[in-house]
Structure 1
Amino acid sequence: MPGLISDQYDDLTGAVQQIILSSSESDYLDQLIPLLKNAQASTQVTPLIHALNHVSADREAEIERICNTNHQEFISSVQHLQTVREGTVKLTSEIMELSRSIEASTEKLAEQKKALVDSRGVRQNIDDATQALKDCLEVLRLANQVHDLLGKKNHYAALRALDELQNVHLREVTRYKIAEMIERSVPATQRLIAEAVMTDLNTWLYRIRETSQFLGEVAFYHTELRRIRQKERAEHDEYLGSFQLNSAVELVADEGEEFDVLNNDEVQVDFSPLFECMHIHDALGQTDKFRADYAATRRRQKDLLIPATLNLLDEEANGLSSLLEGIAGFAIVEKATMAKTTNLRAQSDVDELWESMCQSAIALISAALHTVENDEKLLKIKGVIALFIQTMDSWSYSVQSLDGLLLTLFDKYSSLLKKRFSDDFTEIVNTDDYMPMPIANSDEYSKVISVSWYTPPADHADPETIEYPCILPFSQMYPLVCIDIRNLINQIYLFSDDHFRHTTVIDRTLKENLDDLLVEKVCKALIERLKSQYPGQVVQILTNLEHFEQACSDLEGLLVEARSSSSAAGPITLQATKAFKDAKEHAERRIFELVESKINDLIETAEYDWTSTYVPEEVSPYMTELTRYLSNIMSSVLLGLPEGIKDTLYFAALGFISEALLNLPLDENVQHITHQAAAAYIMDVGHLVEFVESLPEEHSPTRLIDSLDELRQTSDLMHLAVEGKGDVFFDSSTSGARFGKVDKLKGAELLEKVETRGAEQQGAPRSPLTGSGGFAQQEDQLARKAGMQATLGDFRGRFGGFARRDRT
């Protein structure tokens, strides 16, 4: 056991030696720590203490040894130490005093430090409060800046400032009450911005609405310039003239004349307020609401464009122009808005507004259309509407309903033209003198020829070679009607000059109106005037009808050339052509009636005494009057008739005379004709034949004499009957050549009535059944009479079933 302790002690002594030799506390501790770690409770600590004491004792012994060795030096050192100690004590006192002084100063300093610390806390609080105040003031500044920007109309800048305030600056002052207050005010401020920008947009929309009419006026003016340029191109190039306005070729040809309707010297439309409003509402997440509000506003503005009524009677159609210009400007802005924005205006919404405005305008125009009673005024109205259609067609708007309106306008226009020309035709027909038209000079002649469908004869082809005054065959109504016809055609086609797609309607309406006017107002009026008892007037009407028929034939060709529909083909046939032809035939019959009536009146004055016993020395008065009448109508009344009609009339008149004269001896009341009466009748017929043969060659007497063949042959038969040679009529070998025109029954009847000259010379009584001789002669006459009656009965049996021949 002592050995073990001794070993531990030796180990600890070494460790203690190392500790004592350590140069620093850390080395000391480094040596001590392992000993303490390895210590086993107090058993290890006690030896350590003993080791330390042992070392201490060794050191004291060594010191004592050193001191004993150097005692004197030690004593002096001790004294010196004593002195030092006294000085040390003194210094300690001073130090203590100084310590107390320092302590007092320290307490004061502590108080001051505490005060400083307190002041630093207050200062920190002040600094914090100042910073908080600065932050809050910045927030308030930004909030006020938002309102200042609103006041300056910088809506987007205000919205950005509000966004910065909400997302940046308010987050820095969230611990303050002001942040909560401003946070609550942000939605209200956003509403203020939205309302402010909508107010500006409404102001812009109001200005746009006020500018719409002027914008439409500028667009109309630009379209009119395009029309002029297209007409100029058409004058220089016929191919370009075949293309309408807004066609692809016209648009390409007009590319060099680009014009921005929305931005020019006259008008500028700035869409910035709309873009700003869209952007702000998009930033606010209110795009759908803004789109709906904008659409509702435009619908209300559309309604404000349409007036309650429309006056179409102002001189320049200003009311209609203002309405259509406003609609055009409104629609142009809608198209531009749709092109410049995305998803703001749907195509269906724009088309709906356009169609609504068109229907409203159509309703207003249709309601006021009945007040327009002037075709020129209606043509001006059509011109304004056509300009509107062409302008909007260039903006790709549908104009189908407006084309329907033009069709309505054309119906009204054509009816007004028809009424006006109907009145003109009626006045022309009623005021005409129905006399051949006199021409005073070459200018007048040229004008009449240029407007009339009349081909003058070869000797009148050059107006300068004609002797004036001269007479044209028709009356003055004919050129006047021709002028009106040309004017009607021109004015009808004026309707299609600018824009009218229903060209076939124009062609059809023109034909129908011409037919109706010519038939109802000219032809029927002339037919009504055929009731006149004056042959000269009827002859002039017939002449006019002849020229009207030719004019209608020429007019058909003119209508083919002038028709506006390029797809139409084939000839055009006017009903008026046939109507005038029928009327001409009616007039011919009327002239025949008047001539026949006069002839009949004259022949009724023929007072033949068929039992007369003397031969007159001169022609009967009625025959003289009849030939004089024929001469007069040929040289005056019928002179103006066309040659074909004139010849036909002469031939028919002579045929009627022939038939009337033939009926005189064949009258059932005439039972017996003396040869003296037959001689008078033959003399009158001969006078008539001589008159016809003496007519000038221009009347074709050779042909006219043929109409008297039956009368001449009957007269010849009567002459033979008087000579007692009537049996030749029944000789078939000679009768066909000499009496081929004489009806067999009538010839036999006439032979039965005519008394022979020999019977009178023998003193026979007037009765054909008695004679002046004896019984033998009586028997001979009775036998001859019986034979003649037998022959007559035979002819009646053979020809009794035949109807009366047509004398014409």
Structure 2
Amino acid sequence: MPGLIIADQHDDLTSAVQQIILSSSESDYLDQLIPLLRNAHTQTKVTPLINALNHVSANREAEIERICNTNHQEFISSVQQLQSVREGTVTLTSEIIKLSRSIEASTEKLAEQKKALVDSRGVRQNIDDATQALKDCLEVLRLANQVHDLLGKKNHYAALRALDELQNVHLREVTRYKIAEVIERSVPATQALIAEAVMTDLNTWLYRIRETSQFLGEVAFYHTEMRRARQKRRAENDTHLGTAKLNSPVELVADEAEEFDILNNDEVQVDFSPLFECLHIHDALGQTDKFRADYAATRRRQKDLLVPQTLNLLDEEANALSSLLEGIAGFAIIEKATMAKTEDFRAQTDVDELWDSMCQSAITLISSALHTITNDEALLRIKGVIALFIQTMDSWNYSVLALDALLLTVFAKYSSLLQTRFSDDFAEIVSTDDYMPMPINNADEYTRVLSVSFYTPPQDEETGLEPKPEDLDYPCVLPFSQMYPLVCIDIRNFMNQIYLFSDDYASLRHASIIDTTLQHMLDDLLVTKVIRSLLDRLRSQYPGQIVQILTNLDHFAAACAEIEDLLLSARSAPTGGPLSLRATPAFTDAKEAAEKRIFELVNSKIDDLIETAEYDWLSSYAPQHVSLYMQELTRYLSNIMSSVLLGLPYTIKDMIYYTALQHIAENLLALPLDPAIPRISSEAARAYVMDVGHLVSFVEGLEAADRPEVLLEGLAELREVVDLIGCAARGEGEVFFDQKVVAEGRFGKVDKLRGAELLEKVEGRKEVGGGGGVGAVGSSSSLGLATGGLGAAAGVGGEDGHGKKASTTLGDFRDRFGQFGRRG
């Protein structure tokens, strides 16, 4: 094996030497030599190289010798050349040795440098590893510091994301370092810092929300007012929309074009980002339930801060109440918006519980302060604020039943104050009235009175139309006194102010209550303050005042029908049966009481005048003039007809006159029928007939407008009695018992017992006084007194089927008088 290696090496060196020898230049020689010298085994090959060179040299010398043997000269030249080559070789060998030594030195230096390089590479790797570890740790520290920087900038969610990235990504890359353990232990504390910071921001947001709640409620109220105005305009333009209330489906659809975001507008902006961020962060931290409970507790505390301990309702503008309800509205709107913008965060029961609590607190405050209100206008303002609050919150689907009940409480107080005020007004109007027909000075005054009064002027006889104000002659008088239009004004004002309560908010549940309350209170005012006051004044002894009271009562009774129609048309409730006031029959009863009082006064005066009648029933003197009492009686009738009863309606005036004449007839009939008068002389009968004739002539001489043909019916029996007295005086008294004569209508009004008694008295006188009296009575009978046919045909008075006197009642008169009609 060594021989083979040496042989191989010898062959290599020989080949190399051959190449060196064949090199064309010195540089080529060096180029061939340098690879041999750079070999790692150069030192071991130098000697073989020299040996190879020597061998080559020997071969050359042998070849030269051979050549020289052939060609000496050439050999000598070759030897010289060889010598020269040898010298060059020696020189080259020495240079090679120098170069080898230089290379050896360079190689040692290179080895040292390589060792240094290897050592430096290890250090550098360590430095690189340390640098990378430092970078990783610095990145972790940077992210940790970034979390705190984001917290400082209030980027809580970004801080949480950075912390999550730090914990789940970057810390895993440096788990072999101590810093990873330190930062890992600090993560829960940092999470707590983030949760605390976000809760701090949320509390700040909640505080601002609490401060904004009142303004938010104010904007919501204003928006509701605008919706009211738009709905009112729509109702004016389209009657079909008139019945649509606020928050009804029709109104909501009609108002869709007017979109308005109560939480984001020019006036107020509510940003829920802090809440969303807090909710998201707590969800990421797994603390959603705890956050939900803390948030609910905070809102309950804020709710308690909204409601004051006391409430002042005496402010003219109701600012305290508005502030309270606006704050509650804003709070409740935020709660609804929170429910809508989050999922399963705020429970419906919690929100409803807060709403009910706030409503009950507000209701308690308002109810306890209502007793301080003594002004109905202040209550109307309070009701307006409450109604606006109800309509606003109803649009957010909150229950408003308790607030509806509060409105009823306010309405009860309001109606009570109105009733008290109008009761005083009615009492003052009735007590200060002059009870004289109301004078009118000009057409404007006439128009104003007619516009407020429930009065229709009588139609013109020629045109059949109501007279125009400008066609009347001024000054003029209206039949009622000034109390009537004043009470009518108060009635209208009372109705208007009651319905003002339900103008902008009328719940169907309360409409019937408002209508019923108005009806009962109006009845109470009319009955207790008008009717009773007028009835108390009927004790007056002045017929003119009683007549004016009767006139007023008649107009009030007529006005009740119009008031009922007005109440029916203004009824808030959409349905309901017929409406009738208790005051209507009460006014009718009061009219009858006033009529009776007039009858009493007139009949009392008639009784006083007839009591002055002094007949000497056995007198032989025939008077030439009507008795003074009869003249006074007809003068009195003329006066009350032309003055006292002038302002009464025709039906009432005729009825009073008719009843007065009936009363006169009864009293005059009672004179000759007095049991104390046994007989009647012809002269006395003549005086009696003359007085009755004067009365009849007076009635017949009345104007046609006073219906004398009707009034004469009240004297029918008296006239037939006078006719009977004439027949008795002529000895024809048996005609009274002739059924044929009676069937023809004569003596139909005369009571059988009375007629028999009179026949007995007058016929007895015939035996005493002879025939002179007969002619006188007969003559008197022929003066138109025996005209009982009209009375008999009309069926006034007379007997019933049992021979008893059938008296004429006021109801009978009304029935009979209606058959004749009335002009104008």
TM-score (norm 2): 0.76
For 1:231, the aligned partner's letter is K
Deviations 1:426-457 (A, max 9, x none): 11111111111110000001111111121112
Paired residue for 1:259?
A: 260
Within the alignment, does 1:146 sit opposite 2:155 as a pair? no
**Which deviations, in whole Å up to 9, do the C-alpha atoms of 1:253-305 show, x marking residues without a partner?**
32332121111111111111111111111111101111111111111111111
Tell me the distance in 2 between the aligned counterparts of 1:733 and 1:674.
29
Q: Give the aligned partner of residue 416 of structure 2.
A: 415
Q: How does 1:116-515 map to 2 (within 5 A)?
A: 135-459=136-460, 461-501=467-507, 502-515=510-523
Which AA in structure 1 matches 2:630?
M
Tell me the equivalent position of 2:607. 600
Q: Measure the CA separation in 2 of the matches of 1:144 and 1:627.
A: 124
State the partner residue of 2:672: 665
Specify the code of the residue in structure 2 equivalent to 1:420.
R
Matches within 5 A, 1:752-791: 752-754=760-762, 755-757=764-766, 759-760=768-769
**Offset at residue 723 of structure 1 (A):** 4.3
Q: Does 1:742 align with 2:786?
A: no
**1:310-360 per-position Cα deviation (integer Å, ceiling 9, x unaligned):** 111111111111111111111111121112112211222222222222222
Cα-to-partner distance string for 1:150-201 (whole Å, 9 max, x where unaligned): 2221212222222233233333444454443433332222111111100100
List aligned pairs for 1:17-56, cutoff 5 A: none
CA offset digits 1:201-237 (Å, max 9, x no partner):
0000000110111111111112212222222222222
Q: Is the CA contact (8 Å cut-off) linking 1:310 and 1:365 kept in structure 2? A: yes
Matched with 2:723 is 716
2:524 is aligned, of 492, 504, 516, to 516
Residues 232 and 733 (structure 1), Cα distance of their counterparts in 2 relative to 1, 3 Å cut: closer
Distance in 2 (alpha carbons) for counterparts of 1:762 and 1:597: 39
CA shift for structure 1 position 654: 0.7
The offset of 1:630, in angstroms, is 0.7
* 1:545–1:580 Cα contact (<8 Å) kept: yes
- Whether the 8 Å contact between 2:679 and 2:765 is mirrored in structure 1 is no
Q: Who is 1:560 aligned against? A: 568
What is the rounded CA distance, in whole Å, between the counterparts of 1:626 and 1:198 in structure 2?
Answer: 105
- Say which SS state the counterpart of residue 256 (structure 1) adopts: coil
User: How do 1:6-21 residues align onto structure 2 when only pairs under 5 Å count?
Assistant: none
- Counterpart AA for 2:613: A
Measure how far apart 1:752 and its partner are.
2.8
Distance 1:256 1:740, change over 3 A: closer
**CA shift at 1:632, angstroms?**
0.6
Residue in 1 that maps onto 2:632 = 625
Deviation at 1:130, TM superposition (A): 6.4
Q: Residue 723 of structure 1 contacts residue 758 of structure 1 at CA under 8 Å; is this kept in 2? A: no
Where 2:257 maps in the other structure, the secondary structure is helix
Q: 1:767 aligns to what?
A: none
Q: Identify the residue that residue 678 of structure 1 maps to in structure 2.
A: 685
Deviations 1:678-716 (A, max 9, x none): 332222222212221222222222222221121122223
1:524 Cα offset (Å): 2.1
Q: How far apart are 1:403 and its partner, in Å?
A: 2.2
Change in Cα spacing, 1:457 to 1:800, as seen in structure 2 (3 Å) is: closer
8 Å CA contact retained: 1:610, 1:673: yes
Take 2:320 and 2:291, find their aligned partners in 1: how far apart are those partners?
A: 34
Q: Which amino acid aligns with 1:271?
A: F
3-state DSSP of counterpart to 2:304: helix
2:351 counterpart letter in structure 1: V
Could you tell me how far apart the structure 2 residues matched to 1:638 and 1:432 are?
19
TM-superposed CA distance for 1:129, in Å, is 6.5
Task: Give the match for residue 589 of structure 2.
Answer: 582
Cα displacement string for residues 581-600 of structure 1 (whole angstroms, at most 9, x for unaligned residues): 12112211111111111111
Q: Distance in 2 between matches of 1:735 and 1:398?
A: 85
Matched AA of 2:659: A
**Does structure 2 retain, via aligned residues, the 8 Å contact 1:440–1:469?**
yes
- Residues 744, 799 of structure 1: 8 Å contact kept: no
Aligned mates of 2:771, 2:377 — CA distance in 1:
94
CA contact (8 A) 1:726 1:751 kept: yes
Q: Give the partner amino acid of 2:657.
A: Y
* Number of the residue aligned with 1:531: 539
Q: Distance in 1 between matches of 2:680 and 2:746?
A: 22
State the shift of 1:488 in Å.
2.0
Residue 778 of structure 2: aligned partner: none
1:538 to partner: Cα distance: 1.0
- Cα pair distance change 1:661/1:109, threshold 3 Å: same
Q: After the TM superposition, which of the residue ranges 278-287 and 424-433 deviates more from structure 2?
A: 424-433
Separation (CA, whole Å) in 1 of partners of 2:235 and 2:748: 74
Cα distance in 1, alignment partners of residues 226 and 770 from structure 2: 108
Counterpart secondary structure, 1:368:
helix
Give the partner amino acid of 1:756: R
Structure-1 residue corresponding to 2:26? none
Larger displacement relative to structure 2 (692-701 or 469-478): 692-701
Q: For the residues of structure 2 that align with 1:706 and 1:231, how far apart are their CA atoms?
A: 63
In structure 2, what is the Cα distance between the partners aligned to 1:799 and 1:496? Answer: 60
Cα distance in 1 for residues equivalent to 2:631 and 2:410 = 67
Q: Distance in 1 between matches of 2:808 and 2:412?
A: 53
| Contact 2:554-2:587 at 8 Å conserved across structures | yes
After superposing the two structures, state which structure 1 stretch, 709-718 or 433-442, moved more.
Answer: 709-718
The answer (yes or no) to whether the contact 2:729–2:766 under 8 Å persists in 1 is yes
| Distance in 2 of aligned mates of 1:320 and 1:624 | 77
**Structure 1 residue identity aligned to 2:706:** H
- Return the offset for 1:730: 3.8
Structure 2 gaps of 5+ residues are: 7-61, 63-96, 461-465, 773-798, 810-824
| 8 Å CA contact 1:519, 1:579 repeated in 2 | yes
* Cα offset, 1:666, TM superposition: 1.7
Q: Residue 197 and residue 735 in structure 1: after superposition, are their counterparts in 2 closer, same or farther (change >3 A)?
A: closer
> Residue type of the partner of 1:436?
P
> Structure 1 residue 724: deviation in Å?
4.4
1:355 and 1:635 map into 2 onto residues whose CA distance is 73
After superposition, what is the alpha-carbon deviation per residue over 1:361-418, rounded to whole angstroms, capped at 9, x for unaligned? 2222222222222222212112212222222222222223222222222222222222
Asked if structure 1 preserves the Cα contact closer than 8 Å seen for 2:751 and 2:804, the reply is no
Residue 801 of structure 1 deviates from its aligned partner by 7.2
Question: Relative to structure 1, is the Cα distance of residues 807 and 169 closer, same or farther in structure 2, using a 3 angstrom cutoff?
Answer: closer
Query: For residues 519 and 746 of structure 1, do their structure 2 counterparts lie closer, same or farther at Cα, with a shift above 3 Å needed?
Result: same
Question: Which whole-Å CA distance do the structure 2 matches of 1:424 and 1:799 have between them?
Answer: 52
**Aligned-residue identity in percent:** 72
Tell me, which stretches of 5 or more residues in structure 1 are unaligned?
1-18, 25-72, 74-93, 764-797
The answer to which of 205-214 and 702-711 deviates more is 702-711
